[in-house]
Amino acid sequence: MSHVVAAKGPRKVRADRSDYLLRGSSYLTVTAFAAFCALPFILIVSASFSSESAIMREGFGLLPKDFTFAAYEYIFRAPRQIIGSYVVTVVMTVAGTSLGLFIIAMTGYALQRKDFPFRNQISFFIYFTTLFSAGLAPTYIWISRYLGLRGNYLAVFLPLLMTPWLIILMKNFMRTVPYEIVESGKVDGAGDFRIFFRLVLPMMKPALATIGLFLALGYWNEWYLSSLYLGSTVEFKPLQYHLYNIINTANALRNSVAGSNVSITELPSNTLKMASAVVATGPIVLLYPFVQKYFVSGITVGAVKG
Partner 1 sequence: MMRNALARIGAATLALAMTTTALAACSPSEGSESGDPTTITMLVLGDKPTNGRLEAMLDKLNERLEAEANADLELFYVEWADWQTQYNTQLLSGDDSIDLITTATDWLFAWENAEKGAFLPLSEEMLQENAPRTWEQVNADGHWDLTKLDDGQIYFIPEDNYTQYTNHGFFYRGDWAAEAGIPDGTITKFEQFTTYFEWVKEHQKDAYPWDIAGANDAALTGYLQGHTDGQTIQQISAGNYFPFQTTEADPYTVTSWYMEGDELLQAAELAKKWNDIGVWREDALNYDGDTREEFYAGLSGADQHHTQTFVTQIVDNMTKKQPGSDPKFFYWGQENGNVFKDILTHGAMAVNATSKHPEKALEVYDIVRNDEEAYKLLNFGIEGTDYVVTDDGELAYPDGYDSSTDALGSNFWAGRMDDFELDKVTDAPNKGEIYADLDAVAKEYPYSTLIVNKDMIDPTLAAMGGVLSEYLPQLQYGKFDDPAAAIEEMRQKLRDAGYEDARESIQSDMDAWASERGLK
Partner 2 sequence: MVMQASVATPPRVGQHEIVRTRRRKTLLGRIVQHRVLLLMCLPAIAFFVVFSYAPMPGAWIAFTNFNYRDGIFGSPFVGLRNFEFLIKSGQLWLLTKNTILYNVAFIVLGNILQIALAIMLNEIRSKYFKKISQAVMFLPYFISVVLIGVIAFNLLNYDTGALNALIEQTGGDPIKIYSIAGAWPIIIVLFQLWQSTGYGSIVYFAAIMGIDNSLFEAAAIDGASAWQRIRYIILPSLKPTFIILLLFALGGIMQGNFGLFWNLVGNNAALFQTTDIIETSVYRMIISQNNFTSSTAVGLYQSLFGFAAVMLCNWIVRRINEDYALF
> Cβ 137 to partner 2, closest distance in Å?
4
Nearer to partner 1, 104 or 230 (CB): 230
| Residue 198 sits in the site that holds partner 2 (CB under 8 A) | no
Nearest-5° Cα angle at 241, 87 to 163: 85
Interacting residue with partner 2 among 90, 103, 234, 253 (CB under 8 A): 103
Could you say which DSSP state residue 259 is in? G
Interacting residue with partner 2 among 70, 91, 169, 252 (CB under 8 A): 169
| Residue 244 sits in the site that holds partner 1 (CB under 8 A) | yes
| Residue 52 sits in the site that holds partner 1 (CB under 8 A) | yes
| Residue 34 sits in the site that holds partner 1 (CB under 8 A) | no
Distance (Å) of CA 89 to CA 158, 217, 222: 14, 11, 9
94 binding partner (options partner 1, partner 2, none; Cβ < 5 to 8 Å by kind): none
What CA–CA distance (Å, rounded) separates 224 from 143?
14
> Among 229, 252, 226, which Cα is nearest to 241's?
226
198 binding partner (options partner 2, partner 1, none; Cβ < 5 to 8 Å by kind): none
Sign of CA dihedral 12, 16, 18, 22: positive
Residue 61 CA to chain centroid, in angstroms? 29
Q: Looking only at residues 75 through 94 of this chain, which bind partner 1 when binding is defined by CB under 8 A?
A: 77-78, 80-81
Total count of residues recorded for the chain: 306
SS3 at position 135: coil
Site for partner 1, rule CB under 8 A: 52-53, 56-57, 77-78, 80-81, 118, 120-122, 124-125, 137, 140-141, 144-150, 227-228, 231-233, 244-245, 247-267, 269-270
